[in-house]
Amino acid sequence: MSDQYIYAVGRIRVMETRLLDAAKINRMAEAPDAEEAFKVLGETEYAAHLADFQDVNRFEEVLAAEQRRVYLELRKMLPDSALIDLFAYQFDYHNLKVLLKAARLKENRDDLLIPDVGNIPLEELVMAVSSGDYSQLPERMRTAAEKITADFQPYLVDLWLDRALYEELLAGAKRLRSAFLQGYFTALTDLLNIKTFIRVKRLKGSADFLAAALLPGGKLDLLNLLSLEDTLEEMAERLADTPYAQVVAEGLASYQQTETLTRYEKLVDNYLLDYIKQAKYTVIGFEPVVGYLLAKENELKLIRIIMVGKINQLPVAEIRERLRDVYV
Amino acid sequence: MLGLDSGLLYAIFGAALAVLLAGIGSAISVGRVGQAAAGVVSEDPDKFGSTLILQALPGTQGIYGLLVGFLVLQRTGLIGGAPAALTVEQGLAFFFACLPIAIGGMVSAFAQGKTAISGVHLVAKRPEESGKAIIFAVMVETYAVLSLLMSILTLFGIQV
């Protein structure tokens, strides 16, 4: 039994009670306008940030502030940083992508950077990109960055860095010897790969490009399982005895009608959230911390969907259609 | 060595185990529940009362162990009289009498600790249900009490 997370999980259990429940999310979705929806946040733990950013159009800043607060808070309460590092890698990789692209296009896109939450100080990344010397970066990141600068193509920035990130995540899950995390990242990788497959298929990309675009580490060997010539029905059929059968069947059916993957993405999020929910029943272990962190990410996503919908005056039904489940 | 019979040494060994093992189980479990409770209280100080009760529950096994150890010392005359001259068989009988609370106590303390941590989490989520959380943890106490009972009955059955 690993005792080191008992204290943190005790705190998490109280923090979970402050997550937005389905009723609050519903109230936000049903609010007559963006202002009213935003006001609902004032009754939650977002209230502290609302004081700083009162304007509805600055809701992104509220979400960023909350995300920053949660990551910093979790880092403080855990005995070691390995777990949060794992989830914070995505910000390092995101920042590096932004910096690499901005440097090449000679634009300043600092507005897209996410400071403070990542593992690598932003200045270090800025320095590495401006000097072209990546030797201080973690190994996987360095190799990817060097490959990108050697042969710069905008789509390769995402491709190489995403590969490196997902390798990093799976390696980290193995290091933590967590079947729970490995299962999560494997499912995430598989579901993203299925999406990539559909996109490459739509763009009539080559098999070679597909092989490069698929992330490593999934459970499904999509290259052998599917072929780019398959129809959507055939794809769904071939994936029918995988755990993702229902997500794929429903997602692809909706893709066929609407030509968008919005529904698939929602189903993926719900599938992963369902997986994460098993953490609610763990008494001793770090799973509840992961559960809380991902529940928070999910909550930020929900609020973003609602606020964007409200600001663009989408009908309630349409906003609802896009909403994901909640963790609590 | 100290002029004690080897029979008496077995009895002392048993008494030591009863206190040690049951005490280890209780110490670790009370510690764990305390960590969980500290986490909850640091977010919500009002939960101190009910989490404290939950923390105390797995502590009883250590007390039961001490009680059995004490009874062994008393029955063998190590306190309150002259040490009895025990045969090896009698000494071993005392030793075996200690095993239920030593092992049963330790294992039930671990089990109760886990249940109490779950209870602390329950209180974090639903403070109004703290009574139920306590009852769940108290259920485990049954098996510590049964172990204690077995140890005591055996102790008093041994002829000195």
List the one residue out of A37, A42, A11, A13 whose CA is nearest residue A25.
Answer: A37
Residue A84 is predicted with a pLDDT of 94
Is B124's CB within 8 Å of A17's CB?
yes
At the topology level of CATH, where does A79-177 sit?
V-type ATP synthase subunit C fold (1.20.1690)
Backbone angles phi, psi at A270, to 5 degrees: -65, -40
Cβ neighbours of B44 in A, within 8 Å: 14
Phi-psi region of B79 (alpha: psi -120 to 50; beta: other; left: phi over 0): beta
Residue A51 is predicted with a pLDDT of 86
Measured CA distances, A180 to A2, A221, A254, A285, A289 (Å): 15, 21, 30, 11, 12
Is A7's CB within 8 Å of B120's CB?
no
The count of other CB atoms within 10 Å of the CB of residue B63 is 16
What is the distance, to the nearest Å, from the Cα of residue A34 to the centroid of all Cα atoms in its chain? 25
CA distance B90 to B96: 10
Cβ neighbours of B32 in A, within 8 Å: 3, 6, 284
Residue B2 is predicted with a pLDDT of 53
CA distance B125 to A328: 10
What is the distance, to the nearest Å, from the Cα of residue A287 to the centroid of all Cα atoms in its chain? 17
Nearest chain B Cα distance for residue A283, angstroms: 6
Is B125's CB within 8 Å of A284's CB?
no
Nearest chain A Cα distance for residue B32, angstroms: 7
Q: How confident is the model at residue B82 (pLDDT cuts 50, 70, 90)?
A: confident
* pTM score, whole prediction: 0.90
Interface test with A, best of B28, B30, B35, B128 (most A CBs within 10 A): B35
Tens of pLDDT, residues B83-104: 888 999 999 999 999 999 999 9
CB A193 within 8 A of CB A215: yes
Report the percent of chain A where pLDDT is more than 70. 100
CA distance A38 to A34: 6
Tens of pLDDT, residues B112-153: 999 999 999 999 999 999 999 999 999 999 999 999 999 999
The closest CB to that of A7, out of B36, B114, B121, belongs to B36
Tens of pLDDT, residues A120-178: 999 999 999 999 899 999 999 999 999 998 888 888 899 999 999 999 999 999 999 99
CA distance A248 to A256: 12
Please report how many Cα atoms fall inside a 13 Å half-sphere around the Cα of residue A111, on the Cβ side.
5
Cβ neighbours of B121 in A, within 8 Å: 9-10, 13, 283
Nearest chain A Cα distance for residue B37, angstroms: 6
Nearest chain A residue to B114, by CA: A283
CA distance B118 to A154: 50
Q: Interior CA angle at A152 toward A220 and A156, to 5°?
A: 15
The closest CB to that of A283, out of B43, B44, B118, belongs to B118
Q: Where are the domains of chain A?
A: 79-177
Which of B82 and B2 is assigned the larger pLDDT?
B82
CA distance B76 to B94: 9
**Structural domains of chain B, with CATH:** 6-156 (1.20.120.610)
Cβ-count burial A301-318 (b if 16+ within 10 Å, e if not): ebbebbbebbbeebeeee
Nearest chain A residue to B126, by CA: A17
Residue A1 is predicted with a pLDDT of 47
DSSP A215: P
Residue B1 is predicted with a pLDDT of 46
Residues of chain A with pLDDT under 70: 1
CA distance A124 to A141: 13
Is B125's CB within 8 Å of A7's CB?
no
Q: Interior CA angle at A303 toward A300 and A308, to 5°?
A: 120
Taking an 8 Å Cβ-Cβ cutoff, which residues of chain A contact chain B? 3, 6-17, 77, 283-284
CB A10 within 8 A of CB B44: no
Residue A156 is predicted with a pLDDT of 87
Calculate the CA dihedral of residues A82, A88, A94, A99 and round it to 10 degrees. Answer: -70
CB B98 within 8 A of CB B15: yes
Q: How confident is the model at residue B4 (pLDDT cuts 50, 70, 90)?
A: low
Nearest chain A residue to B37, by CA: A10
The count of other CB atoms within 10 Å of the CB of residue A34 is 20
DSSP string, chain B: -TT--HHHHHHHHHHHHHHHHHHHHHHHHHHHHHHHHHHHHHH-GGGHHHHHHHHHGGGHHHHHHHHHHHHHHHHTTSSSSPPP---HHHHHHHHHHHHIIIIIHHHHHHHHHHHHHHHHHHHHH-GGGHHHHHHHHHHHHHHHHHHHHHHHHHHHHS--
**What is the residue-averaged pLDDT of chain B?**
94
Tens of pLDDT, residues B66-75: 999 999 999 9
Contacts of B85 (CB under 8 A, 6+ apart): B5, B7, B8
What is the distance, to the nearest Å, from the Cα of residue B93 to the centroid of all Cα atoms in its chain? 20
CA distance A78 to A91: 19
- Inter-chain Cβ pairs, chain A and chain B, closer than 8 A: 56
Structure tokens given for A190: 């598989």
